[in-house]
Chain A
Amino acid sequence: MTSVNKAEIQAIIERTLNQILEAKGRARVALTEDMLLLDEEALPIDSLDLAQIVLDLQSLTGRDPFEAGFIEFRTAGELASLFSS
Chain B
Amino acid sequence: MRDLANALTIQGTATVISTGEQTHTGTSVLEQSAAFDRAITRPDGSRILSLDPSPATILALLVLAESRTCQLILGRPSIDLAALGKMLQPDVIVHRTGRIERRGDSSSGESGIFLLTSGTTGTPKVVHQTLPALLGRVQTSSLEKNRGARWLLTYETHSFAGLQVVLSAALSGGVLVAPEARNPAALAHAARNQGVTHISGTPTFSRALLMTIKDEGLPSLRQITLGGEAVDQATLNRVSQAFPHARVSHIYASTEAGALFAVHDGRAGFPSAWLGHALPGGVMLRIRDEVLEVRSPRCMLAYASGQRAPLTEDGWLVTGDLVRVEGNRVLFSGRQDQIVNIAGLKVSPEEVEAFLLAQPTVDEAQVYAVPSPLTGSLLAARIVVHPGLDPQETLQELQTVCARGLSRHKVPRRFEIVDRIAMSTSGKKAYTS
| Binding stretch for chain A, among B36-44, B188-196, B371-379 | B371-379
B414's contact among A50, A59, A71, by CB below 8 Å, is which?
A: A59
- Considering only residues 367-403 of chain B, those with a C-beta below 8 Å from chain A are 370, 372-375, 378, 380, 403
CA distance A51 to B373 in the complex (A): 7
B409, A55: Cβ atoms under 8 Å? no
Within the complex, the shortest CB–CB distance from B275 to chain A, in Å, comes to 36
Within the complex, the shortest CB–CB distance from A1 to chain B, in Å, comes to 16
A55, B403: Cβ atoms under 8 Å? no
Contact A54 to B403, CB < 8 A, known contacts A48-B343, A48-B408, A59-B414: no
Contact A52 to B413, CB < 8 A, known contacts A66-B373, A70-B373: yes
A42 within 8 A of B: no
Task: Report A-chain residues with C-beta under 8 Å of the C-beta of B342.
Answer: 48
Task: Report B-chain residues with C-beta under 8 Å of the C-beta of A52.
Answer: 378, 413
Interface size class of A (residues with CB under 8 A): 10 to 19
Task: Report A-chain residues with C-beta under 8 Å of the C-beta of B343.
Answer: 47-48, 51
A48, B409: Cβ atoms under 8 Å? yes
Within the complex, the shortest CB–CB distance from B107 to chain A, in Å, comes to 54
Task: Report A-chain residues with C-beta under 8 Å of the C-beta of B403.
Answer: 23
CA distance A23 to B373 in the complex (A): 23
Within the complex, the shortest CB–CB distance from A43 to chain B, in Å, comes to 14
What sequence of 0s and 1s flags, for each residue 139-155 of chain B, a beta carbon within 8 Å of any chain A beta carbon? 00000000000000000
Within the complex, the shortest CB–CB distance from B12 to chain A, in Å, comes to 62
Within the complex, the shortest CB–CB distance from B246 to chain A, in Å, comes to 42
CA distance A9 to B343 in the complex (A): 25
For A37, the closest partner residue in chain B by CB is: B374
B414, A55: Cβ atoms under 8 Å? yes
What sequence of 0s and 1s flags, for each residue 397-423 of chain B, a beta carbon within 8 Å of any chain A beta carbon? 000000100001100011000000000
Task: Report B-chain residues with C-beta under 8 Å of the C-beta of A51.
Answer: 343, 372-375, 378, 413
For B342, the closest partner residue in chain A by CB is: A48
Task: Report B-chain residues with C-beta under 8 Å of the C-beta of A23.
Answer: 403
Task: Report A-chain residues with C-beta under 8 Å of the C-beta of B370.
Answer: 55
Task: Report A-chain residues with C-beta under 8 Å of the C-beta of B413.
Answer: 51-52, 55
Within the complex, the shortest CB–CB distance from B1 to chain A, in Å, comes to 59
Within the complex, the shortest CB–CB distance from A82 to chain B, in Å, comes to 10
A54, B374: Cβ atoms under 8 Å? yes
Contact A47 to B373, CB < 8 A, known contacts A23-B403, A59-B414: no
Within the complex, the shortest CB–CB distance from A35 to chain B, in Å, comes to 17
Within the complex, the shortest CB–CB distance from B404 to chain A, in Å, comes to 10
Task: Report B-chain residues with C-beta under 8 Å of the C-beta of A55.
Answer: 370, 372, 378, 380, 413-414
CA distance A52 to B412 in the complex (A): 10
- A residues neighboring B (CB under 8 Å): 23, 47-48, 50-52, 54-56, 59, 66, 70-71
- Between A and B, 14 residue pairs with Cβ closer than 8 Å are A47-B375, A48-B409, A51-B372, A51-B373, A51-B378, A51-B413, A52-B413, A54-B372, A54-B373, A54-B374, A55-B370, A55-B378, A66-B373, A70-B373
List the 9 shortest-distance A-B pairs measured between CB atoms, nearest first: A66-B373, A51-B374, A51-B375, A51-B372, A52-B413, A70-B373, A47-B374, A55-B413, A50-B374
Known interface pairs A48-B343, A51-B375, A66-B373; 16 further A-B residue pairs with C-beta atoms within 8 A, sorted by A's residue number: A23-B403, A47-B374, A48-B342, A48-B375, A48-B378, A48-B408, A51-B343, A51-B373, A51-B374, A54-B374, A55-B370, A55-B378, A55-B380, A56-B414, A70-B373, A71-B373
